[in-house]
Amino acid sequence: MNYEELIESAIEMQNYSYVPYSHFHVGAALLTADGKVYTGCNIENGSYGATNCAERAAIFKAVSEGEKNFSAIAVVGGHEDKDGKPTIEDFCPPCGICRQVMLEFCKKDFKIILAKNPKDYKVFTLNDLLPESFSLKD
Ligand code: THU
Protein backbone atom coordinates (compact mmCIF):
# COMPACT_ATOMS: atom_id res chain seq x y z
CA MET A 1 0.00 0.00 0.00
CA ASN A 2 1.65 3.26 -1.12
CA TYR A 3 0.61 6.81 -0.26
CA GLU A 4 -1.38 7.22 -3.50
CA GLU A 5 -3.50 4.17 -2.69
CA LEU A 6 -3.95 5.32 0.89
CA ILE A 7 -5.19 8.71 -0.37
CA GLU A 8 -7.60 6.97 -2.77
CA SER A 9 -9.06 5.07 0.20
CA ALA A 10 -9.47 8.32 2.15
CA ILE A 11 -11.24 9.96 -0.82
CA GLU A 12 -13.60 6.97 -1.11
CA MET A 13 -14.49 7.38 2.57
CA GLN A 14 -15.81 10.91 2.01
CA ASN A 15 -18.85 9.22 0.46
CA TYR A 16 -19.76 7.71 3.84
CA SER A 17 -19.48 10.91 5.89
CA TYR A 18 -22.64 11.68 7.89
CA VAL A 19 -22.63 15.47 7.72
CA PRO A 20 -26.15 16.94 7.82
CA TYR A 21 -24.90 20.00 9.77
CA SER A 22 -21.61 21.08 8.19
CA HIS A 23 -21.94 19.39 4.78
CA PHE A 24 -18.16 19.00 5.06
CA HIS A 25 -16.98 15.49 4.15
CA VAL A 26 -13.76 14.17 5.68
CA GLY A 27 -12.22 10.80 4.85
CA ALA A 28 -9.23 9.13 6.47
CA ALA A 29 -7.22 5.98 5.82
CA LEU A 30 -4.86 4.71 8.51
CA LEU A 31 -1.95 2.41 7.62
CA THR A 32 -0.66 -0.06 10.22
CA ALA A 33 3.01 -1.02 10.46
CA ASP A 34 2.19 -4.40 8.93
CA GLY A 35 0.33 -2.93 5.95
CA LYS A 36 -3.34 -3.13 6.96
CA VAL A 37 -5.66 -0.18 6.32
CA TYR A 38 -8.42 1.09 8.62
CA THR A 39 -10.69 3.76 7.19
CA GLY A 40 -12.94 6.38 8.74
CA CYS A 41 -15.31 9.20 7.93
CA ASN A 42 -16.71 12.03 10.05
CA ILE A 43 -20.00 11.32 11.80
CA GLU A 44 -21.86 14.36 13.07
CA ASN A 45 -24.41 14.67 15.83
CA GLY A 46 -27.23 17.12 16.49
CA SER A 47 -25.56 17.97 19.80
CA TYR A 48 -22.52 19.07 17.74
CA GLY A 49 -20.19 18.12 20.61
CA ALA A 50 -20.74 14.38 20.02
CA THR A 51 -19.46 14.68 16.45
CA ASN A 52 -16.59 12.31 15.69
CA CYS A 53 -13.89 13.16 13.16
CA ALA A 54 -12.78 10.87 10.34
CA GLU A 55 -9.29 10.42 11.78
CA ARG A 56 -10.58 9.32 15.17
CA ALA A 57 -13.11 6.98 13.52
CA ALA A 58 -10.22 5.23 11.73
CA ILE A 59 -8.00 5.13 14.82
CA PHE A 60 -10.77 3.86 17.10
CA LYS A 61 -11.77 1.17 14.60
CA ALA A 62 -8.17 -0.04 14.50
CA VAL A 63 -7.51 0.12 18.26
CA SER A 64 -10.81 -1.65 18.98
CA GLU A 65 -9.60 -4.51 16.79
CA GLY A 66 -6.29 -4.84 18.63
CA GLU A 67 -4.06 -2.70 16.40
CA LYS A 68 -1.65 -0.30 18.06
CA ASN A 69 1.21 0.06 15.62
CA PHE A 70 0.60 2.71 13.00
CA SER A 71 2.81 4.23 10.32
CA ALA A 72 0.67 6.80 8.45
CA ILE A 73 -2.76 8.35 7.96
CA ALA A 74 -4.11 10.02 4.82
CA VAL A 75 -6.74 12.75 5.33
CA VAL A 76 -8.92 14.56 2.79
CA GLY A 77 -11.84 16.92 3.29
CA GLY A 78 -14.10 19.38 1.56
CA HIS A 79 -17.62 20.72 1.30
CA GLU A 80 -20.23 18.96 -0.79
CA ASP A 81 -21.29 20.42 -4.13
CA LYS A 82 -24.86 21.41 -4.99
CA ASP A 83 -25.70 17.77 -5.74
CA GLY A 84 -24.44 16.67 -2.32
CA LYS A 85 -21.25 15.12 -3.72
CA PRO A 86 -18.06 15.53 -1.66
CA THR A 87 -15.33 17.79 -3.03
CA ILE A 88 -11.76 18.53 -2.01
CA GLU A 89 -11.09 22.27 -2.10
CA ASP A 90 -7.85 22.36 -0.13
CA PHE A 91 -5.68 20.42 2.31
CA CYS A 92 -7.58 19.38 5.46
CA PRO A 93 -5.29 19.27 8.50
CA PRO A 94 -6.46 17.26 11.52
CA CYS A 95 -8.12 19.09 14.40
CA GLY A 96 -6.41 19.43 17.77
CA ILE A 97 -8.35 16.60 19.39
CA CYS A 98 -7.38 14.19 16.59
CA ARG A 99 -3.72 15.22 16.88
CA GLN A 100 -3.84 14.44 20.60
CA VAL A 101 -5.47 11.05 19.92
CA MET A 102 -2.74 10.30 17.35
CA LEU A 103 -0.16 11.12 20.02
CA GLU A 104 -1.73 8.51 22.31
CA PHE A 105 -1.15 5.69 19.84
CA CYS A 106 1.51 6.83 17.39
CA LYS A 107 5.19 7.71 17.54
CA LYS A 108 6.44 11.22 16.83
CA ASP A 109 7.54 10.19 13.33
CA PHE A 110 4.04 8.93 12.40
CA LYS A 111 3.25 10.37 8.96
CA ILE A 112 0.19 12.56 8.34
CA ILE A 113 -0.56 12.84 4.62
CA LEU A 114 -2.74 15.77 3.62
CA ALA A 115 -4.02 15.48 0.06
CA LYS A 116 -5.91 17.39 -2.60
CA ASN A 117 -5.81 14.31 -4.86
CA PRO A 118 -3.69 11.12 -5.03
CA LYS A 119 -0.87 13.00 -6.76
CA ASP A 120 -0.96 16.29 -4.87
CA TYR A 121 -0.16 15.78 -1.22
CA LYS A 122 2.04 16.97 1.64
CA VAL A 123 3.55 14.75 4.32
CA PHE A 124 4.02 15.91 7.91
CA THR A 125 5.16 14.02 10.97
CA LEU A 126 3.05 14.04 14.11
CA ASN A 127 5.85 16.01 15.72
CA ASP A 128 5.50 18.68 12.99
CA LEU A 129 1.79 19.10 13.74
CA LEU A 130 1.91 18.68 17.52
CA PRO A 131 5.20 20.02 18.90
CA GLU A 132 5.77 20.43 22.65
CA SER A 133 2.93 18.00 23.24
CA PHE A 134 1.46 16.77 26.51
CA SER A 135 1.60 13.04 27.16
CA LEU A 136 1.56 10.75 30.20
CA LYS A 137 3.47 8.11 28.24
CA ASP A 138 7.29 7.82 28.55
N1 THU B 1 -13.58 17.13 10.85
C2 THU B 1 -12.93 15.92 10.72
O3 THU B 1 -13.56 14.89 10.44
N4 THU B 1 -11.58 15.91 10.90
C5 THU B 1 -10.84 17.01 11.24
O6 THU B 1 -9.69 16.85 11.61
C7 THU B 1 -11.43 18.34 11.11
C8 THU B 1 -12.92 18.37 11.21
C9 THU B 1 -15.03 17.16 10.65
C10 THU B 1 -15.83 17.40 11.90
C11 THU B 1 -17.12 17.97 11.34
O12 THU B 1 -17.95 16.91 10.98
C13 THU B 1 -16.68 18.69 10.07
O14 THU B 1 -15.38 18.21 9.77
C15 THU B 1 -16.64 20.20 10.20
O16 THU B 1 -15.92 20.57 11.30
Residue 136 lies in a domain: no
Q: What are phi and psi of 63, to 5 degrees?
A: -65, -35
55 catalytic residue (yes or no):
yes
Distance 23 CA to ligand 1 centre (A): 10
Estimate the crossing angle of helix 54-63 against helix 96-105, to 10 degrees.
20
- Sign (positive or negative) of CA dihedral 104, 45, 64, 92: negative
- Domain range spanning residue 68? 3-128
Residue 135 lies in a domain: no
Residues at CB less than 6 angstroms from ligand 1: 19, 22, 24, 26, 42, 44, 51, 53-55, 94-95, 98
Distance 42 CA to ligand 1 centre (A): 6
Coil, strand or helix: which one is 110? coil
The low-confidence residues of the chain, meaning pLDDT below 70, are none
Residue 133 lies in a domain: no
CB atoms within 10 A of CB 135: 10
> H or E element: which one contains 42?
none
pLDDT at 35: 97
pLDDT at 138: 76
pLDDT at 36: 98
pTM: 0.98
Q: Which atom of ligand 1 is nearest to the CA of 51?
A: 12
Residue 138 lies in a domain: no
Residue 66 lies in a domain: yes
Residue 109 lies in a domain: yes
Question: Residues for the chain: how many in total?
Answer: 138
Domain count, the chain: 1
HEC letters along 49-91: CCCECHHHHHHHHHHCCCCCCEEEEEEEEEEECCCCCECCCCC
Distance 16 CA to ligand 1 centre (A): 13
How does pLDDT run across 71-85, given as a tens digit for each residue? Answer: 999 999 999 999 999
Q: Which atom of ligand 1 is nearest to the CA of 97?
A: 6
Residue 10 lies in a domain: yes
Amino acid, single-letter form, for residue 32: T
Residue 32 lies in a domain: yes
- CATH number of the domain to which 53 belongs: 3.40.140.10
Contact between 77 and 91 (Cβ < 8 Å): no
pLDDT at 118: 98
pLDDT at 62: 98
What is the distance, to the nearest Å, from the Cα of residue 53 to the centroid of all Cα atoms in its chain? 8
